[in-house]
Each structure stands twice: as C-alpha cells, then as structure tokens.
A and B are shown apart, each in its own frame.
Chain A
C-alpha cells in the first residue's frame, strides 16, 4: 500500500514538474522544476530496487548537472529568456500531435500487454557491488568507453568555454555573422540631426595666434 502511494505521489510530481519545465517562461523556474522531476525519478528508482542508480541520479543529475545549468542561466541573465516571437499555430499543433501520439502509443501498447509481476529479487539486486561486478566484468568495454567519452566532454567543455571570440578583420567574414538590429530613426531625431549639420568654420587656431604675437 505504501508502495502504491509512493508511486502515485512520485508520478504526479514527476509529470507536473516536467510540464513546468516545458511551459514556464522563466528559465530559473524551468531548471528548478527539472530538479524536482529528477528527484521524483530517483524515487521511482528506489521503488524499482535500484538503490545505486537512485543515489547516482541525485548526486550526478540533481547535484552536478543542474548546478551547471543554474550557473549558465545566471551568467546569461536576460538572454536566457524565451525569445518573444509569435510561433505559427501549426508548430504547436504538430508538437502536440507528435508528443501525445508517441506517449499514447507506448501507454496503450504496454497496457494491452499483461505483464506479470517481476521475479522476486534479492536485496543485492541494485546494490553497488552488483553494479560494479557488471561494469568490471561483462561490460568492461562500455565502462572504458564511457570514461573516454567523459574525458573528451571535459576537454571540449573547457575549450568551448574559455576560448575568446577571435578578432577578425573588417573584410573577413565570420563564422557567426552578427546581425545588427536595424535602428529605426524617429522623425524628430532625424530633423534634429539635419538641423545641427551646419558647417563649422574655424578662424585660426590658438597656436597660429601665438606665433603672430
């Protein structure tokens, strides 16, 4: 009974937090909602007797990855906000159809199947010892590949984040062409500019006068 209640609470939290991530306009609220979503998923992992994965989820995801997200959101400031432009209605419709379609397909496909209860497993099922035995035994190649991938990602992240934009010549086209917004000049400012465009006539400089004197 406690199992069922925990499942219902975790699924409500996970789904509503995911909706908040997708629908909220504030990137901070989106990031914080994703943390709630990840913790609800860690609850699911505990319910599925995968204790080590639940711990890894909280430490790696809700800890490290989301802190990085929050730092970048704070660094970008207002630029992280959603660009306020009207999107075409068919885009929203197509996204709704695709998302609801794939979710409904899997849900109905799974519900139709009469899954029996899983086998009774021992307490050591999701323990770190069992995971380590798998990783260092049968899946050693995947383990090594993962470590190489993480090394490459760390180096790539440092390179991407520390390199300054290279100075470019005036005639040299850049990889990311900066689009300057077209400044619309108001009528008043253009009239004012026209009025102040009179010729400046200088009648000799101070140095000349000193020489004459």
Chain B
C-alpha cells in the first residue's frame, strides 16, 4: 500500500462529515464552534494535500489564511457566546431567536 494524496483527501472528507454531523445535531454553541473547527481543519488538510501533490506553495499559503480566519472566527464566536451567557441564563442555539422576531 502506498499512501497517495487520495488517502489524505479521504481522511479530510471523513473529518468534514463528522464536523457537519456535529453542527447539525448539537445545541451547545461551544460544541458548535468546535465542530466548525473540525470542518475548517479538514479543508486545510485537503488544501495541503493538493499543494503537496501539485508541488506548489499556493495551497499552504491559503491554508495559513484559513487558519487566521478560523482564529478570528473563534475570537468573535466565543465573545458572542460569553455575552449571550451573561444576558440569558442558558445557552441553547435553538432558543436564541431574539433576532428573528
């Protein structure tokens, strides 16, 4: 067995599916953010696999940009989670409908 790029991309697809399942089923916003992190990292793995396969740097540069975007998203997301937890007692994404009405 030789580990080619398709193995890495397969693992990345499985990880993306697991993260998608978490986003769809969990209700705690913290776990939701963690699942989104899994999905972003799966995308990073696919980018870096193809970067290695094509022998070009572009994929790695793009993966670094994705990392920065993910860090920003975590900062703002956790800030919102803390602010909502201060105002409302419980954290349940199904009940946060204040902006809908």
Which residues of A does B touch, CB under 8 Å?
3-4, 7, 11, 14-15, 18-19, 21-22, 27, 30-31, 34, 37-38, 41, 44-45, 47-50, 52-53, 56-57, 60-61, 64-65, 68-69, 72-73, 75-76, 79-83, 85, 87, 91-92, 94-96, 98-100, 102-103, 105-107, 110-111, 113, 115-119, 121, 125-126, 130-131, 133-135, 139, 142, 146, 149-150, 152-154, 156-157, 159-161, 163-165, 174-179
B47 to chain A, nearest CB (A): 10
Among A83, A111, A131, A178, the one with the most B-chain Cβ atoms within 10 Å of its Cβ is A83
Q: Which residues of B contact A47 (CB under 8 A)?
A: 3, 8
A90 to chain B, nearest CB (A): 11
A150–B78 Cα distance when bound, in Å, is: 15
Contacts across chains A and B counted by CB atoms under 8 Å: 260
CB pair B37–A53 under 8 Å, yes or no, is no
CB pair A149–B30 under 8 Å, yes or no, is no
> How many B residues touch the partner, as a band?
35 or more
Q: A50-B48, A121-B52, A130-B57 are in contact. Are A153 and B31 (CB under 8 A)?
A: no
Q: A11-B11, A76-B85, A102-B13 are in contact. Are A56 and B72 (CB under 8 A)?
A: no
Among B70, B73, B86, the one with the most A-chain Cβ atoms within 10 Å of its Cβ is B86
Which residues of B does A touch, CB under 8 Å?
1-22, 24-28, 30-31, 33-35, 37-38, 41, 44-45, 48-49, 51-55, 57-58, 60-61, 63-65, 67-76, 78-92, 94-95, 98
Q: Kindly report which residue of chain B lies nearest to residue A96, judged by CB atoms.
A: B21
CB pair A15–B11 under 8 Å, yes or no, is yes
Q: Which residues of A contact B35 (CB under 8 A)?
A: 21-22
CB pair A160–B64 under 8 Å, yes or no, is no
